[in-house]
A and B are shown apart, each in its own frame.
Chain A
Amino acid sequence: MNEIPTSAKPAVSAAWLRGFTRALPIVMGYIPIGFAYGVLAQQAGLSLLNTLAMSTLVYAGSSQLIAAGLFAAAAPALSIVATTFIVNLRHMLFSAALSPYLKGWRKWELAVFAYELTDESFALHSVEFPRGASSKIEAGALNLTAQVSWIFGTWLGAVVGGRIDDVRPLALDYTLPAMFIVLLVMQIKRRLEIIIAILTGILAAALTLSGMGQWSVILATLVGATAGVALEQASGTRAKKKEAARKQTARREASRRRATREHAAQTRAAQKRAAHEPTAQRLIADEQAAQNLARRSEHAPADPKVGETISGPTA
């Protein structure tokens, strides 16, 4: 903290506050779910220390709940680790998807950030990073707040366990589903994204129904994102063609309009000339007359009428 100049301190604490505030919907969801995990882990025979260690070291909700069940069933360690690997493999997609926004980060900063990357924090970051509004400190504060609430919920469940067992009257079990709905809505900015969301959602449901279990989210996402790019490329080519056609029409239209305008201008000019014609002709006629007069006047003294005739129409 010593290297942070005094003037930057308010900005830093404001970023902390923003990160903390943004994490609150996660907190509302994590405390009850962490609680549920804490209760289950105790029932599975994990010590308080190990129960908390899992929330601190693994920090991945669904895999922890599954692991608690497997510990209770005395499953072998290797199968618990393998299951965890499959359940948590989707984080790879989160990590990859956020990587374009974290270009300036140092390796250790990425390491810290990645440690606390969950479904929920990813959902928030994936809305916030593209807006370019989230700083390292804000992102870190969000992640830290979320994990602390997860550990707190775990501790609460493990210690006071059986005494509070129903979070349903407060609908705390709907916090995270609701949050995912909202963040999905916030992700959608184009019509193609609506199509991809519906497609991927239905595919994931179908894969789950056909027994793909933990793979269904990953598989559906791979297919959905690929379909998105494919449709984008296809519609991009179409749009480019359309754009070219539009430009050509516009060019033709413009040149047609220009021609009309020029024609109109020419007509107007012609009319104007026609209107002035008599004057011009008179002028020419007058000039000739004047020349004739002048020629004549070479032999005769100046006629005052000649000057009048010449200056008359010119004035």
Chain B
Amino acid sequence: MTDQTTVFLTIVGMLAVTYLPRVLPLWLFSSRSLPPLVIAWLRYVPVAVLAAMVLPSLVLAEDRITLGGDNLFFWAAFPTFIVAWRTKSLFAAVLVGMGVVAGARAVIGIG
């Protein structure tokens, strides 16, 4: 390829299909009062969607469950989790997680 105009038009198409799901629910729902059951349902979405993104990224590698010693992201999740639980500090927990990963790579040379 690569005809840059086609690329640009494709990007515009990508913009449309990405932006509509981002904006439509906000436009439709934020201006009206939703039934309590829907509100209750929406309140579970953040927990559910974060868990659905986090857990597979920690336990799966190349479409396989990998919980071995070389799955550094999985093991580093524990200190990150504990610091997050105790301190409720985003920065502290993220830095601890990164420190564990960086340290393990430097010292043991895994991951």
List the interface of chain A (C-beta within 8 A of B). Answer: 24-25, 28, 44-47, 49-50, 53-54, 57-60, 63, 67, 71, 74, 77-78, 80-82, 84-85, 88-100, 102-103, 105, 107, 110-111, 113-115, 117, 119, 122-123, 126-127, 168-172, 174-175, 177-188, 193, 196-198, 200-205, 208-209, 216-217, 220-221, 224-226, 228-229, 232
Contacts and interface: CB of A to CB of B under 8 A. Distances in A.
Interface in B1-29: 1-2, 4, 6-19, 21-29
B90 A25 contact: yes
A169 to B, nearest CB: 6
Contacts of A80: 10, 13-14
Contact of B46 (A90, A187, A198): A187
B38 to A, nearest CB: 9
A228 B48 contact: yes
A203 B48 CA distance: 10
A312 B14 CA distance: 109
8 contacts: A25-B91, A84-B18, A91-B22, A93-B49, A180-B54, A182-B84, A208-B56, A209-B60
B108 interface: no
B12 A96 contact: no
Nearest to A217: B52
Given A90-B49, A95-B24, A97-B46, 4 more contacts: A99-B28, A169-B105, A171-B99, A200-B51
Interface string B23-39: 11111111100100101
A175 B52 contact: no
Nearest to A125: B46
Contacts of A180: 50, 53-54, 57
A203 to B, nearest CB: 7
B90 A114 contact: no
Nearest to B74: A177
Interface residues of B, number: 75
Given A71-B7, A93-B45, A57 B14 contact: yes
A205 B56 contact: yes
B10 to A, nearest CB: 4
Contacts of B26: 95-96, 98-99, 102, 110, 113-114
A182 B49 CA distance: 14
Given A81-B14, A99-B30, A216-B52, A181 B81 contact: yes
B48 A50 contact: no
Contacts of A24: 91
B44 A175 contact: no
A180 B77 CA distance: 10
Nearest to A173: B101
Interface in B32-86: 34, 37, 39-60, 63-65, 73, 76-77, 80-81, 84-85
Nearest to A99: B29
B90 A174 contact: no
B50 A178 contact: no
Nearest to B77: A181
A-B pairs, top 6 by smallest CB distance, nearest first, are A201-B55, A178-B97, A224-B48, A228-B44, A99-B29, A204-B52
A77 B13 contact: yes
Nearest to A118: B22
A258 B76 CA distance: 59
